[in-house]
Amino acid sequence: MISRFVVALFCFIVTASADPVVEIVSVNTSSINGTAGSLDFNFNPGTFVTQSASLQILNFSSDGALAGSPAITGDVSGTLPGTLTFDNGTALNDYFEGFTFGSLLKFDVSLYGPALSSPDGTSTSGSLFAFSMYSDPEGATPALTSDLVDGIALAINVNLDGSTTLTNFSSQTIVEAGGVTVPEPGGLAEIMFFLLGMMFLGRVSGASSKRT
């Protein structure tokens, strides 16, 4: 009886825990090689009730060079080329930094949280990630994008049903689906609980075998 309950509980935990949605982004910046410009990343909630979600920028690399100190607004932690972590708990969550372009720019986008793993069915707005490049340090002139109004090169919407929609405004940008990265917050605790439970199950099974 106990072993069946434990197995059922573990199956529920494995099913309930969702892997992050990962996109691998590569941008051919050779046409603006040497330009002293800037990069902008933001992840913001919608206008109305928005379920909690988080985003990370991982594995940033380029033959270009970051310039100066970043301007950070809202719930954003970290600095490039390290990991950036965004939460959508405030209206504007933005990371802006000067950048001298090289020939290639790469990074991963990892999306996770309740809005993706367990949509509540009551929220009325999703969240939006946007990545922009500019050919000036002030962020006034969009680069490598057909979106000359907002200057967005790449956008990812988190939809109300937990799915994501990607919109690419840049012909120089290639986006590929990635694999699993770091478990989302809380995931490590679930994994530890699972492993401890498996140890317990093994002991119960072993004790039953000895009695028989």
15, 121 in Cβ contact below 8 A?
no
Tens of pLDDT, residue by residue over 68-113, are 999 999 999 999 999 999 999 999 999 999 999 999 999 999 999 9
> What is the spatial distance between Cα 88 and Cα 53, in angstroms, rounded to a whole number?
6
Tens of pLDDT, residue by residue over 32-42, are 999 999 999 99
Q: 81: which 2 tokens?
A: 């080329």
Give the mean pLDDT of 154-165: 98
154, 23 in Cβ contact below 8 A?
no
Please provide the average confidence, as pLDDT, over all residues in the chain: 85
Residue 128 has pLDDT above 60, yes or no: yes
Q: Where are the beta strands (DSSP E) in the chain?
A: 21-28, 36-45, 54-62, 65-73, 76-77, 84-87, 94-100, 104-112, 127-134, 152-158, 164-168, 173-177
CA atoms 75, 125, 145, 30: torsion sign:
positive
Rounded to two decimals, the pTM is 0.78
